[in-house]
Amino acid sequence: MHFRAAVATLAALALGVSACGKSTDGAADAPAASSTPIAKIAPPAGKAWADTVSVTPEGGYLMGNPNAPIKLIEFGALSCSHCAEFAEKSFAKMRDDYVASGRVSFELRLFMLNALDIPAAMLATCGAPESVIPLSEQFWAWQPNMFTNLQTAGDAKLQAAGNLPPNQRFAAIAGLAGMDKFFAERGIATDQAAACLADVKKATTLSNQTQAANEKYQVSGTPTFYLNGKNLNTATWETLEPMLQTAGAR
């Protein structure tokens, strides 16, 4: 994925067009069934699994027991409306009923579908690792405001932002979309955000991680979920939750 190709999608996004991939609900490979429920796994003394976050070698953010027997990975894009819908329906229950039990870990790998995802991901990962998943969940809830802001800004300003050098481009896009204010209200200071948005090396890393996901996991749309190494081919909580239970989280 190249920056110029990503910027080319801004005009469509300004009209509120979703760039999420198509889901294939109903075509999922069933996870291996556990004959008996997996027992809950206690966290270390004084800790809670839902508050335990680690950065994975692939650049993901893993919440929960890193040795959980049931490992769920989401490839999610912050601009994706299907990801926002999944987050709204799933996150609290998944955190409180599944991750907190120690039986399930949840890893979020941010995926760059378009030019909006790059500054959004740069800001979401600008603070401490433990803030990335909560900020992403909050961003998905706020997402409709981003599209409203882009519609208000208009194509001309978006195109001008896309023509800026990379170390200025992402800050300009973030400003037009209202991302800077959103993250400032949640603890990412203005100077801190500016430094993150000017970090072209970090933007390149995010782009490379997306390319690697394309090549290794055949991720072409979001959300895409892997459970214990298998692509679930589903994008809804209604179909995913029973798969967690089948795998032993019951």
Question: pLDDT tens-digit profile of 124-182?
Answer: 999 999 999 999 999 999 999 999 999 999 999 999 999 999 999 999 999 999 999 99
Element containing residue 150 per DSSP (H, E) = helix 132-153
Burial of 33 (0-12, 13-18, 19+ CB in 10 A): exposed
Q: What is the model's pLDDT at position 30?
A: 58
State the fold for domain 3-9+48-246.
Glutaredoxin (3.40.30)
Residue 199 has a CB neighbour count (10 Å cut-off) of 16
Three-state DSSP class for residue 108: strand
**Is the Cβ–Cβ distance between 135 and 124 less than 8 Å?**
yes
**Of residues 95, 92, 91, 87, the one with CA closest to residue 48:** 95
Q: What is the model's pLDDT at position 19?
A: 47
Q: What is the model's pLDDT at position 6?
A: 41
**Is the Cβ–Cβ distance between 101 and 41 less than 8 Å?**
yes
Q: What is the model's pLDDT at position 36?
A: 87
- The per-residue pLDDT of the chain, averaged, comes to 90
CA atoms of 106 and 70, how far apart (whole Å):
9
Residue 151 has a CB neighbour count (10 Å cut-off) of 13
**Is the Cβ–Cβ distance between 105 and 66 less than 8 Å?**
yes
Q: Domain spans of the chain?
A: 3-9+48-246
End-to-end Cα distance, the chain: 40
Strand 70-76 relative to strand 104-110, pairing: parallel
Query: In the beta sheet, which residues pair with residue 105?
Result: 71
What is the sign of the dihedral through the CA atoms of 34, 40, 43 and 44? negative
* DSSP letters for 28-77: PPPPPPPSSPPPP-PPSTT--GGG-EEE-TTS-EEES-TT-SEEEEEEE-
**Which stretches of the chain drop beneath a pLDDT of 50?**
1-9, 11-19, 22-23, 25-27
What is the side-by-side order of every strand in the sheet holding 53-55?
A: 53-55, 61-63, 104-110, 70-76, 224-227, 230-231
